[in-house]
Amino acid sequence: MIFDYFDGIEEAIEFLIALGSIIGMLGLIVGILGWLFLGQFQRHKMIGVIIVSIVLLGVCGLYTGTRYFRI
């Protein structure tokens, strides 16, 4: 019974890591596009989005989300 609990925890952590990977990839794409096409004030915000996305990809892995969600 306790092993079922730990299996559930493991699956939840795996899902969160995969979700972080997908959010990181999308954030990187949106950040780069925003940096290219938005005004000067918005570019500073997009640089923050790019940095956070790179950190998410570094922690969660680049292809983890694509393998988990079979994209």
pLDDT digits (tens, 9 = 90+) for 2-52: 678 888 899 999 999 999 999 999 999 999 999 888 888 888 888 899 999
Q: Is 38 left (phi over 0), alpha (psi -120 to 50) or beta?
A: beta
CA atoms of 59 and 37, how far apart (whole Å):
28
Q: Is the pLDDT of residue 69 over 80?
A: yes
* 27 secondary structure, DSSP code: H
- Burial 3-38, CB ≥16 within 10 A → b, else e: eeeeeeeeeeeeeebbbbbbbbbebbeebeebbeee
Q: What is the per-residue pLDDT for 62?
A: 81
